[in-house]
Structure 1
Amino acid sequence: MMGTVQAFGIGYSMTMLAIAIAIVIVLCICFKIHAFVSLTTASLFLALTHNMELAKIVVAFEGGLGKTLGFLAPILALGAILGKLMEVSGAAERLARTLIRILGQSRAHWAMMIVGYVCGIPVFLQVGIILLTPLMFSIVKESKLPLIQVGMALVVALTTVHCIVPPHPAAMAVTDLLKADVGKVIFFGLIVGLPAACIAGPIYGKFIAKRLPPVPLTGAYADTEPRKESELPPFGRTLFVILLPLLLMIAKTVVELNIDKHNPPAYMTYVNFIGTPMIALFISAVVAYFVLGLGRGFNWDQLGRFSEAGMAPLASIMLVIGAAGALNQIITDSGVGLVLKQVLTSIQISPLILAWVIAITLRFALGSATVAMMTAAGLILPVLGANPQIDPALMAIVIGAGAIGASQVTDSGFWFVKESLGIPMGSMYATYTAGTTIAAVLGLGGTLLLQMFL
């Protein structure tokens, strides 16, 4: 690899990398080519322009894709099952109704933020919107609060937790790529993300709602009727099932911090096993089958159909993440990673800030938070190796924070929010784009502040 770097030079390698990223952007945005094909094209271009042997290109691509998905595929599947059971059982609706009773109708937007932040942990952004938007409309009708005020609290919370808290796919993939401790990423991510979601969601949402024309209740899910109380699961069981995977993974990290690492007790074998993401989510999915499935009157045939329906949308996201992992492997094996390390470490700026800038720039250009996060992680990985004093968990969080912001027309989530809530195009930039960007900036600030205490 060093010979490749010397043969081509820094300028050549960085130019080819820039063109490879441009290929992804142009194919995705201008030609509407699927991100998997775009990332694969960029990988082949980068490999061929650095004279990688054809056989080694295939090995590197397959290795990067397989290594990424080998870790992530079961986590995605189990998370999808957990999210689907939350949907069909009414778990999210139970959580929201209980919080609104506690906080009061006048603080319904705060209740929706909490619901989005908690329920968004095991489900995809789009699934969370489908799951919670009908409930949001009924709350707007009852509380008489502006739709933008309540809607912003929900969608900003969902977007924030989607980008920075495992077991979300991109957050988990970045955590694995950077070799960060999952428990730390979850714990630190929740700490950094909560104030960001609070300020960019309920607080900014209330501020901007007073300055924009009222939005009528005409979104895609405005006519959905809420469920009866008897159809919803108990609050305690609901909260336990939703938080169980996080509790298991965080508990593993807490135990590890309080033992003698040179002479670990025998029970650590079991703690490490139960606290790994795949096993933690498997346990949680099994518990959900009984608590939110059989316990709510569903039979095994229905649970099987729910599981299939939950996993059906995974194919596209898995292919995208796998191709991003392959591109990262090509960057390493072609020698471009060494050049990137040399260039980025010479920039006189905090590596955390640098990672955030890369992530939010790619997010703005590509639209996809997942592709932006995976690409940013691959680019910053050589820098992380040259700065061992930086906790990889903080790097994973700051990359996720950058990917929260700058959502605009290239982002499918932007349009999903617009159509689901019925917000006019003219108001989307002042609401969702601005809100996600505020959350991204606050996420960066929170990460830098957290770094001072570690």
Structure 2
Amino acid sequence: MGPSFLLLSAVLAVVAMVIAIARFKINPFIAIFSLSLILALVAGMPPGDVVKSFETGVGGTLGHIAIVIALGTMLGKMLAESGGAEQIANTLIALFGKRNAHWAMMFIGFIVGLPVFFEVGFVLLMPIAFNVARRTGMSMLMIGLPMVAGLSVVHGLIPPHPAALLAVQAYQADMGHTIFWGVLIGLPVAALAGPIFASIVSRGIILPADNPIEATLVKPHDDKRVLPSFGATVLAILLPVVLMLMGSWADVIAPGKTILNATLHLLGNTDIALLLGVILSFITLGVMRGITREEILRFSNECLAPTAAITLLVGAGGGFGRILIDSGISKVIVDLALGAHISVLLLAWLLAALIRVATGSATVAMTTAANIIAPLAAQAPGTKAELLVLATGAGALILSHVNDGGFWLVKEYFNMSVPQTFRTWTVIETVISLAALALVLLVSTF
């Protein structure tokens, strides 16, 4: 198959998925699964490998995401039942005021997202976003979109986030300078893609009144209810964040192959950190507040039901991404970028962007592009390594669509349709990518 045919087939497959889900109301998992198989066969994959490829993609994605969603939802449920999420919402509103609550959510996403993957920060903060939206009377889009913008910016641009950390190593960039430029560029980008964009797009999109996940994670306000302390609630949320941050710096804190180094890596593992956070919430927000063990068990069981569809859709997106890789379509996209005769900064952005579109993973796009570009950058004197990290990260965030697990997380938690998710989440990711690239190129001229 020729490269043009493969690219056209991939584009048509994505368009067909959107039409099948949005226009003909076909179950999203069925639509993604069916069209992934058709694309694989059209691209010339051996029939015996097609289903196995899709299953591999689903399994590889869910091996991480399913645990994150399950543990994050349990923690969110404890925040809801104990009143912890409401307490944080009250504190934020008191500090920033109702009119500026969306700016508060952007800063929280920016800070919490530093050491954790996007999905982890997302499930940790959604209960707070639901509560803030309810208490302020603002649209969930007005509150939630700035939060996801803050999470996404640090996901792509700022170490010690894992993908950015790998890019720093590949380009041999200075860590401190990368963080400095990442924050300097990331904050205005997050403001543009978050509160500013949300204030525009939220006027034209009306979300359904009933959101099953919100109903699980938010309890009706009760003036007589005694809420947990702000400190105890924040501790439950930040414990996983702190542990993951320590894990990412384990090799700096302790020499390799030591007990301390191994312990920090273990505690900093996403699954372990979240597990410990959930256990802490069972104790401080549950047992210590008079909630029985039977009630905690019921809460942790009840909250998982609404996440089943999300988990399945995230896995399906991973399966579609694997089909793109195994069919050779991703390689065609990479070759297309490498064949462009442009500056190293633009090439790093373009390569990461095309891999992102092809695979759906910002982390995969950033790490793959960095490893490909690093030898080229070494032969291009004058290119600032720190800005190269940011350019690569910016490209890795562009145009999230149906093969990205984050797309389905945002869609389902916000209770949006597929077209609405494209108009909000996909646009946010693209605004972040383009705005960050523009600022990187601007800084590089000085």
Q: Would you say same fold, with TM above 0.5?
A: yes
Q: Is the 8 A contact 1:81 1:311 kept in 2?
A: yes
Quickly say closer, same or farther: Cα 1:253–1:375, change in 2 above 3 A: closer
2: distance between equivalents of 1:285 and 1:434?
A: 31
Quickly say closer, same or farther: Cα 1:106–1:76, change in 2 above 3 A: closer
1: distance between equivalents of 2:21 and 2:315?
A: 16
2: distance between equivalents of 1:51 and 1:342?
A: 19
Aligned counterpart in structure 1 of residue 231 of structure 2, from 236, 240, 246 = 236
Number of the residue aligned with 1:441? 431
Q: Is the 8 A contact 2:365 2:396 kept in 1?
A: no
Number of the residue aligned with 1:367? none
Matched, 1:336 2:329: yes
CA shift at 1:326, angstroms? 2.0
Aligned counterpart in structure 1 of residue 21 of structure 2, from 22, 25, 28 = 28
2: distance between equivalents of 1:377 and 1:399?
A: 7
CA shift at 1:59, angstroms? 2.5
Q: Is the 8 A contact 2:366 2:393 kept in 1?
A: no
Quickly say closer, same or farther: Cα 1:343–1:189, change in 2 above 3 A: same
2: distance between equivalents of 1:72 and 1:290?
A: 25
CA shift at 1:110, angstroms? 4.5
AA aligned to 2:148 is T
Kindly report which structure 2 residues correspond to 1:153-232, keeping only aligned pairs within 5 A, or say none.
Answer: 154-161=143-150, 163=152, 191=183, 195-199=188-192, 226-228=221-223, 231-232=226-227
Matched, 1:256 2:242: no
2: distance between equivalents of 1:106 and 1:56?
A: 54
1: distance between equivalents of 2:331 and 2:56?
A: 19
2: distance between equivalents of 1:110 and 1:269?
A: 38
CA shift at 1:328, angstroms? 2.4
1: distance between equivalents of 2:124 and 2:25?
A: 22
- CA displacement, residues 172-212 of structure 1 (integer Å, 9 cap, x when unaligned): xx979x9889xx9xx99995765445455556778x79xx8
Kindly report which structure 2 residues correspond to 1:365-380, keeping only aligned pairs within 5 A, or say none.
Answer: 374=360
CA shift at 1:292, angstroms? 1.5
1: distance between equivalents of 2:104 and 2:368?
A: 41
Number of the residue aligned with 2:349? 352
Quickly say closer, same or farther: Cα 1:50–1:131, change in 2 above 3 A: same
CA shift at 1:289, angstroms? 0.8
Number of the residue aligned with 1:134? 134
Q: Is the 8 A contact 2:390 2:440 kept in 1?
A: no
Number of the residue aligned with 2:39? 46
Q: Over the residues paired in the alignment, what is the CA RMSD in angstroms?
A: 4.8
Matched, 1:98 2:91: yes
- CA displacement, residues 187-240 of structure 1 (integer Å, 9 cap, x when unaligned): 99995765445455556778x79xx89xxxx9779xx96333752110111111
Secondary structure, counterpart of 1:227 in structure 2: coil
Number of the residue aligned with 2:123? 123
- CA displacement, residues 126-169 of structure 1 (integer Å, 9 cap, x when unaligned): 765544322122xxxxxxxxx57xx6652322332565677xxx
AA aligned to 2:238 is L
- The size of the alignment, in residue pairs, is 386
Q: Is the 8 A contact 2:109 2:149 kept in 1?
A: no
Kindly report which structure 2 residues correspond to 1:317-328, keeping only aligned pairs within 5 A, or say none.
Answer: 317-328=310-321
Quickly say closer, same or farther: Cα 1:20–1:98, change in 2 above 3 A: closer
2: distance between equivalents of 1:277 and 1:393?
A: 24
Number of the residue aligned with 2:49? 56
CA shift at 1:257, angstroms? 4.0
**Percent identical residues:** 27
Quickly say closer, same or farther: Cα 1:443–1:126, change in 2 above 3 A: same
CA shift at 1:301, angstroms? 1.3
Q: Is the 8 A contact 2:122 2:148 kept in 1?
A: no
Kindly report which structure 2 residues correspond to 1:272-421, keeping only aligned pairs within 5 A, or say none.
Answer: 272-347=265-340, 348=342, 349-352=346-349, 355=352, 374=360, 383=369, 385-388=371-374, 399-400=396-397, 402-403=399-400, 412=411, 416=415
Moved more, 311-320 or 345-354: 345-354
Quickly say closer, same or farther: Cα 1:15–1:328, change in 2 above 3 A: same
Q: Is the 8 A contact 2:107 2:150 kept in 1?
A: no
Quickly say closer, same or farther: Cα 1:23–1:54, change in 2 above 3 A: same
Secondary structure, counterpart of 2:291 in structure 1: coil
Number of the residue aligned with 1:170? none
- CA displacement, residues 289-331 of structure 1 (integer Å, 9 cap, x when unaligned): 1111222221111111211222212222222222222222222
Quickly say closer, same or farther: Cα 1:60–1:179, change in 2 above 3 A: farther
2: distance between equivalents of 1:204 and 1:12?
A: 36
Q: Is the 8 A contact 2:108 2:150 kept in 1?
A: no
Q: Is the 8 A contact 2:59 2:315 kept in 1?
A: yes
Aligned counterpart in structure 2 of residue 11 of structure 1, from 4, 9, 12 = 4
CA shift at 1:283, angstroms? 0.7
CA shift at 1:267, angstroms? 1.4
Moved more, 347-356 or 311-320: 347-356
Instruction: Please list every run of 5 or more consecutive structure 1 residues that lacks an aligned counterpart in the other structure.
Output: 1-7, 138-146, 167-173, 363-371, 405-410, 419-427
Number of the residue aligned with 1:270? 263
Quickly say closer, same or farther: Cα 1:107–1:27, change in 2 above 3 A: closer
Q: Is the 8 A contact 1:152 1:435 kept in 2?
A: no
Q: Is the 8 A contact 1:40 1:327 kept in 2?
A: yes
CA shift at 1:343, angstroms? 1.3
2: distance between equivalents of 1:292 and 1:393?
A: 39
AA aligned to 1:39 is I
Secondary structure, counterpart of 1:121 in structure 2: helix
Quickly say closer, same or farther: Cα 1:415–1:19, change in 2 above 3 A: same
1: distance between equivalents of 2:47 and 2:25?
A: 28
AA aligned to 1:11 is S
AA aligned to 1:351 is A
2: distance between equivalents of 1:338 and 1:296?
A: 55
Q: Is the 8 A contact 1:117 1:161 kept in 2?
A: yes
Quickly say closer, same or farther: Cα 1:380–1:306, change in 2 above 3 A: same
CA shift at 1:52, angstroms? 2.5
